[in-house]
Amino acid sequence: MTDQKPLLQLIHVQQLYTSGRRQFVAVQDVNLTINEGEFVALLGPSGCGKSTLLRIITGLRRPSEGRVLYRGIPLEGVNPYATIVFQTFALFPWLTVQENVELALRARGVPAEERKPRALDLIDRVGLDGFETAYPRELSGGMRQKVGFARAMAVEPELLCLDEPFSALDVLSAESLRGELLELWLSGKIPTRAILMVTHNIEEAILMADRLIIMDKDPGRIVAEMPIALFHPRQRKSPEFQDLVDQVYALLAGQTQPEPIELGSAPGEPGRTRALPQITINDLAGFLEYLNEQPNYRADIFHLPEDLGVDSDHILRLTETAELLGFATIEKGDIQLTPLGETFAQASILARKEIFATRIRRLPLMRWLLNLLRRAEENTLDWEVVRTALELEFPPDEAERQLDILIDWGRYAELLAYDDNRGLLTLEPASVPERAM
C-alpha cells in the first residue's frame, strides 16, 4: 500500500554520545526514508542505535549531524505527528481503562464532551469492549498492551513508532495482538499513515512489515534493506515466508557455506546424519553471554578452557554448537559472535526461544523428529521407539545421547514436550502443521 510519498526522511544522520571522557559514534551516517502507507521494521542487535533513531525521528533528540525532514520540512523540536508505543505501557494503575485513554485525549486538547465517546470507540477498536471500567491490574499483559495501543491511537499519530511492542507478552497474546494491529492498519481504520517498528523478532518483522531495515552496531549503522512483497494475510508456513526468514537469518548469521554441507542429512536420507553436539541450552546461553561481553565479541578459542574453567572438549562442543546454529563464526583460532549471536545473547527469554526455535527447526535431525511426531497418533511417541529409530544411524549410547539433546533443545524452543514419568514425547500444538522446510 506504499504511495512512495516520503513521510519521514533521515539524511546523513549521525549521533555522537559521550561516555566518560570518550566520545563515540552511536549512529553513523543513517539515510532512511519512510514513505506514506509503509510499515517498516527495524531489526538489529542491542546497542545498534534503534532507540536513538526513534528518539531522533520523534524529535525527542536532535542528531549531532544530518537532517530530519517530515513531509519535506526540517523537523524542529518534538514531532507532533509521531508517537512512540513502548515495550511496556506505563498505564496509571489508579485509573480505569477508559480513564487512561481519556487522559491521552485530554493531553491532546480534545474537548471534555468528545473524550468519552472517542475513548469508548478506541477501546472498542482494539477489542477491549466490556473492559472500560476495569483497572490495569485486572487485565492480562496482552490486554494492557491493547490499552497502550488505544492510548497511542488516541493521539492519532501519522507516524506510529513501536518499540518492541510485543516482546513482553506471552507467545499467544503476542500473536493475537499482532493480528489485531495488522487488521487495524490494513483496513485503514486508524489515521496512521506509516508505522515504524523496532523488533528483535525476525518472523514478526516479516509477518508485518513491507520493508526491513537491518542494522549492526559499533558503530550503529544500516547494513541491509529488504522489501517484503508478500500479500496479507501472510502464512508463516508458506515456502515464500520461510525463504525470507532464511535470507534474513543468513544475513544476520553471516553464513557463507551452503547449508546442506554444514547440517548433514536426516536419518533415512542419503548422506551422513550429523550428530548434535552434546550441549545444554544453559551452557550455550552462558557461552554466548560470555562472548557478548568480550571486546569485539571475539575470543581466542585456545584460552577459553582456562578462562571459563571447563575442559577443552567441552569448549569444542560449545563452539561447534554456536557455529552450527549460526550464532558464531570460527576463524584462525578465534570465535566471534555473529549479529544473530549478539541478538540472542541480548534478547529476552521469549525472543531467545523464538530465535532458537527457528534455528533448530532447520537441523535435519530435529526436522526428522518433528515429522515423526507429526505422523504419530495424537502426535505422541514413546521415548523408546524414537531411540530405537535413532539406532539406525547411531550406536546405542550415542542414539540415547542424541535423543536427550533433541528433547532438551526441542523443549526449550517449545517445539515439543516430554513427559518424563511416562516417557512420552509430544509435539507442541504450534508445531503440528507441516512446515515448509
Ligand X SMILES: Nc1ncnc2c1ncn2[C@@H]1O[C@H](COP(=O)(O)OP(=O)(O)OP(=O)(O)O)[C@@H](O)[C@H]1O
The footprint of ligand X (CB under 6 A) covers 17, 19, 26, 46-52, 220
List the beta strands (DSSP E) in 237-372.
298-300, 328-331, 334-337
Question: Smallest distance from the beta carbon of 364 to ligand X, in angstroms?
Answer: 33
CB of 215 or CB of 403, closer to ligand X: 215
**Which residues have C-beta within 8 Å of that of residue 95, sequence separation ≥ 6?**
103, 135, 136
Question: Smallest distance from the beta carbon of 153 to ligand X, in angstroms?
Answer: 23
CB of 52 or CB of 321, closer to ligand X: 52
Question: Smallest distance from the beta carbon of 416 to ligand X, in angstroms?
Answer: 30
Question: Smallest distance from the beta carbon of 413 to ligand X, in angstroms?
Answer: 22
Question: Smallest distance from the beta carbon of 133 to ligand X, in angstroms?
Answer: 35
Q: How many residues does the chain have?
A: 437
Q: Residue for cell digits 532464511?
A: 246
Cβ atoms 121, 196 nearer than 8 A = no
CB of 50 or CB of 193, closer to ligand X: 50
d(CA 414, CA 356): 10
CB of 19 or CB of 187, closer to ligand X: 19
Question: Smallest distance from the beta carbon of 217 to ligand X, in angstroms?
Answer: 7
Q: Residue for cell digits 517498528?
A: 197
CB of 68 or CB of 381, closer to ligand X: 68
CB of 292 or CB of 371, closer to ligand X: 292
In our burial notation (b when 16+ CB lie closer than 10 A, e otherwise), range 372-394 reads bbeebeebebebeebbebbbebb
How many CA atoms lie within 13 Å of 293's alpha carbon, on the beta-carbon side?
7
**Which residues have C-beta within 8 Å of that of residue 154, sequence separation ≥ 6?**
101, 104, 105, 108, 118, 119, 122
Q: Which helix (H) or strand (E) holds 227?
A: strand 221-227
